[in-house]
Amino acid sequence: MRHSQTSRRDFLKTSALGTALWVSGTQGLQAAKSPNEKLNLGVIGVGGRGRANLNNVATENIVALCDVDDTRLGQAAENHKSAKKYADYRELLQQEDLDGVVIATPDHHHAPAAIRALRRGLPVYCEKPLTHTVREARLLTETARKMGVATQMGTQNHEHPGYVKMIDLVKQGTIGPVREAHVITDRPGRWWKQGQTVPQDQPAVPKDLHWDLWLGPAAERAYSPAYVPFAWRGWWDFGCGAIGDMAIHLMDPVFMALNLGGPVKVTSTGPAVLPASGPTEMITKFEFAARGDLPPCTIYWYEGEARPTGEVAERLPMNGSLLIGDDGQIACPHGKYPTLFTGDEKKDLTPENAETFSQTHHHQQWITACKTGSPTGSNFDYAGPFTEIVLLGNVAYRTGEMVHYDPQSMKITNNAQANDLLDKEYRAGWEV
């Protein structure tokens, strides 16, 4: 049994997604507060990235904090002494005075936390990647649209002026039709380990860690520091590997500039597949058909030690992207301004007096949306379909062959068995 509340077939029957899912923008958002009132927010996950999220929404009333690590929870509570403290977010989400929640848990908890908040009618800010599986991404997209609440996926550079500049240049036709793009990260690398087997040692669980709650929807297993607090990213049961961690950032402006979506063919190559852990390196190819007046386009993703060759290798910035058009190329590092290549000319497009982009902008945009019903850039209507595509890279790698994905039916059409990887099993009490 993959999930208890509804079968995959029933879910699709009741979902009015179809091709409309791939259109960004949420209409008719409900305003939770007047613009001059502060929101009552709960923050789920307050260590690591969660700490930054907490600081970036501290303009509001923080009324609830949750973390499975008592030490991290206590540290966060020092600055928010009136907030109620929880180890289990299912209990936090029953607190009556909430106006919205911020989620910064490991990936396997994103959907279980977010869907409970959405079904209660609460606005949600959720860290990237939006979900752990393709089906979860579809479920959050549809539920957020149905509930009409403000949502935002935590890609804080989504509206970086450098990204906006690159997108504008592409849409203006500066480099002509784009038929190819390359995106790269050096992760996992020195950041965390992948290519591992399940740890065999069984050290004692740290006294401040609620291990069973940390596992949540994942199957029971012994505690290991190989999972907590950061390296969970490299384990299939908890994270989405380097592609889930960084393609959501680095492919973001490419996805927007090229209006990517619709049916896609995905191929991933790398070392031999391990049952528990992601690869040390991987190359993924996403093949998109023509989209309106836009030509077919192929996106190449590189992670770990994987690298392109030739001119692409020379122009592709590490942790960045390179778009190749008929009349030129644009390279853009993560969170910076692009460089334009036309003919023999190379032009850095960084303004002379470029200001540092505020890392609070993304959070404050969501807060404003909660209060006024205004749009957000990375709402779940955009973030959900984007996440579906990115996670297909892992599905193709674990399947060992090209997968043909049809978003309208939410099925892989050339390999029935591969569809099992679009979903997962949940422990009792954590189903979505």
Angle of CA points 93, 134, 101, to nearest 5°: 20
Q: Sorting pLDDT into bands at 50, 70 and 90, what band is 15?
A: very low
**pTM > 0.85:** yes
Question: Phi, psi (5° rounding) for residue 87?
Answer: -100, -20
- β-pairing verdict for 151-154 and 124-127: parallel
Q: How confident is the model at residue 26 (pLDDT cuts 50, 70, 90)?
A: very low
Does 69 have pLDDT greater than 70? yes
Give the pLDDT confidence score for residue 35 in this predicted structure. Answer: 76
- Calpha distance 378→126 (Å, rounded): 10
Nearest to 52 by CA among 100, 86, 102, 99: 102
Confidence of residue 28 (pLDDT cuts 50, 70, 90): low
Q: Look at the block and give the residue holding tokens 């690298």.
A: 307
Question: Cα separation of 232 and 165, whole Å?
Answer: 35
| Cβ pair 34, 367 in contact under 8 A | no
Q: What value does the mean pLDDT take over residues 156-181?
A: 98
Q: What is the pLDDT of residue 36?
A: 73
Q: Which domains occur in the chain, in start order? A: 8-157+359-384+411-422 (3.40.50.720)
CA gap 44, 54 in Å, rounded: 9
pLDDT of residue 354: 87
100-143 pLDDT per residue, tens: 999 999 999 999 999 999 999 999 999 999 999 999 999 999 99
pLDDT band for position 32 (cuts 50, 70, 90): low
> E strands along 13-122, which residues?
40-44, 61-66, 84-86, 100-103
Q: What is the pLDDT of residue 20?
A: 30
Segment 388-404 shows an average pLDDT of: 99
The model's confidence at residue 85, banded by pLDDT at 50, 70 and 90, is: very high
pLDDT tens digits for range 323-343: 999 999 999 999 999 999 999
d(CA 415, CA 313): 33
At residue 359, the pLDDT reads 83
Residue corresponding to tokens 């989405």: 240
Provide the mean pLDDT of the chain.
93
Tell me the CA distances in angstroms from 48 to 14, 72, 76, 153, 391, one per residue in order: 38, 9, 11, 17, 23
Evaluate if residue 23 carries a pLDDT over 70.
Answer: no
Percent of the chain whose pLDDT exceeds 90: 90
28-32, 146-150, 270-274, 297-301: range with lowest mean pLDDT: 28-32
Q: Is the pLDDT of residue 274 over 70?
A: yes
pLDDT at 97 over 70: yes
